[in-house]
Structure 1
């Protein structure tokens, strides 16, 4: 997905952080779910382009992390 397309989609989505994230800053990512992808961005620099990951790939990633 091109950065311009990601930015357009990003503006329309609600971003959220992990429930494990504190409100004190630090290193955190935010995600937004679209019809075809999960967008991931750095919460400290939300103006930068987001990474678009396929929904199936994201589901496998979350399953793997949950087992760790």
Structure 2
């Protein structure tokens, strides 16, 4: 995953960050932990979210109706 991010930046440069956001899948695995608490445990993820202007979204993969998540993302 890190290599993918690095490759995108190599190809598109820093401008890619302006048009990117971090999408966390399997948000259901966080259980009682918030995404903010999860991010606090990982300086690398914090840096990635910061480079994407703080833009991130969390998907719960176990929801039967995923459409509200998609609409919120868009």
TM-score, L = length of structure 1: 0.29
Tell me: higher relative CO, structure 1 or 2? Use CA pairs within 8 A at least 6 residues apart. Answer: 2
TM-score (structure 2 length as normaliser): 0.28
Greater per-residue strand proportion: 1
Task: Pick the structure with greater CA Rg.
Answer: 2
More helix by share: 2
